[in-house]
Amino acid sequence: MQIYKITMSLVVSVIIGCLQVANAAMDLTKEAEKYRQYVIGQIDSLLSDTERFVGALKKGDVKQAKAIYPIARMYYERSEPIAESFGELDARIDARLADLQEEGKNEKDWSGFHKIEKILWEKNTTKGTEAIADQLLLDIKELRAKVPTVEVDTELMLTGAVDLLNEVSTSKITGEEEIFSKTDLYDFQANIDGAEKIYELLRPHLLQKDKKLANEIEKQFKAVNTLLAKHNRSKKGYDFVGYDKLSSADIKELAEAVNKLGEPLSKMGVILE
C-alpha cells in the first residue's frame, strides 16, 4: 500500500515557512480559540465515552465494549493535532505494539486503546483488560486537564490539517492502525472530520484570497466523505464495514481521493499570506 502514501514533508515545510507572514497579515486569534474549544469538546466526549467503555469492560460485556471502542476513538483521532503534542501521554493512550517494538520495547511496556483492542478481538473477552482500562481512563483525564493549556496558533491549525490527512495516507490506508478490530474506517472519517473543521474555521479568509481554491477544497472533502459514506451502514451515525471487507479497488479509490484533497488543502497556508 506504500504507493498510495501522500508525501507531505515538503508541504509542511512550505506551510511553516509562510506562517510568520500569514500571522502578521491577519488576525486569526478568534479562529484559533474556536479550534481550541472544538478540541476541548472532543476530549470531553472522549472522556465520557471512555468511561462507558471502561464500564462495559468491567461488566464483561464484550459486545458493548466492541461497539463503543471505535466511536470513542473517533474523538481522539479528530483531536490529534493537539493531543499528539503530549508525546508520552499520546503513546500511553494510542500506541500500537509495532510502534513500541520499533523502539526496542515489548508488550509489557504497552498500554492504551490498542492493547485492549487486541484482547477484545483476539480473545473475545474482557478478562485482562481491567487494569489497562483503569490506566487509560486516568491518562485521558490527564489529557483533558492539559489540553486547555495548549497555545493554539495558525501554525498548529494549518500543519494539523495536513498531518491529519497524512495519518490517513500512511498508517490508516495500510490497515495497520486497527489491526485487530478492522475499524480503520472510523479513524479515516475522524481524521477527515478534524481536517475539515480546521478548513471550515479558516474558510472565510480563504474565500477572500482565493475562492477557486476554497471551492476545490470543498469539492474534494465532499468526494472523500461520499466514498466513506458508501461503506457506512448507518444513515444516522457511524457503522462502517470492517476494513478487511474492502477490495483493493476500494482502498485505491479512497487513497486517491485523499491524495486529491491533500494537494489543494496543502496550499491553504500559502494563500493566507
The per-residue pLDDT for range 65-82, each reduced to its tens digit, is 999 999 999 999 999 999
Cα separation, 113 vs 90, in Å, equals 11
Return d(Cα 223, Cα 82) in angstroms, integer: 26
- pLDDT-derived band at 235 (thresholds 50, 70, 90) equals confident
Residue at which a domain ends, from 131, 150, 169: 150
Residues 194 and 158 in one domain: yes
The SS3 of residue 240 is: strand
Q: DSSP string of 108-175?
A: GG--SHHHHHHIIIII---TT-HHHHHHHHHHHHHHHHHGGGS---HHHHHHHHHHHHHHIIIIITTT
Tell me the pLDDT tens digit for each residue of 120-142. 999 999 999 999 999 999 999 99
Distance (Å, rounded) from C-alpha 215 to C-alpha 208? 12
Instruction: Among 128, 150, 172, identify where a domain stops.
Output: 150
Residue 23: the pLDDT is: 45
Contacts of 163 (CB under 8 A, 6+ apart): 8, 12, 80, 81
Domain of 112: which CATH number?
Answer: 1.20.1420.20
User: Could you tell me if 70 and 162 lie in one domain?
Assistant: no
| Nearest CA among 175, 208, 177, 181 for reference residue 76 | 177
Q: Which residues constitute the domain of residue 71?
A: 39-150
Average pLDDT over residues 191-220: 95
Q: Is the pTM of this model over 0.75?
A: yes
Nearest partner of 271 among 229, 196, 213, judged by Cα: 213
Angle at 86 between CA 84 and CA 90, to 5 degrees: 60
- Give the separation between CA 47 and CA 83, rounded to whole angstroms: 13
Instruction: Measure the CA–CA gap between 184 and 199, rounded to whole angstroms.
Output: 23
* Other residues' Cβ atoms within 10 Å of the Cβ of residue 239: 15
Interatomic CA distance for residues 204 and 202, integer angstroms? 6
- Check whether residue 22 and residue 98 sit in a common domain: no
- Tally: H helices and E strands in the chain: 13, 0
Residues 10 and 88 in one domain: no
Do 46 and 112 reside in the same domain of the chain? yes
Find the mean pLDDT for residues 3-12. Answer: 42
Q: What is the pLDDT of residues 93-116, one digit of tens each?
A: 999 998 899 888 988 999 999 999
Checking if the pLDDT of 55 tops 50, the result is: yes
| pLDDT of residue 6 exceeding 70 | no
Count: domains in the chain? 2
- The pLDDT of residue 25 is 52
**Boundary-marking domain end, from 109, 130, 150:** 150
Residue 182 corresponds to which cell in the numbers above? 478492522
What is the C-alpha to C-alpha distance for residues 244 and 228, in angstroms, rounded to an integer? Answer: 15
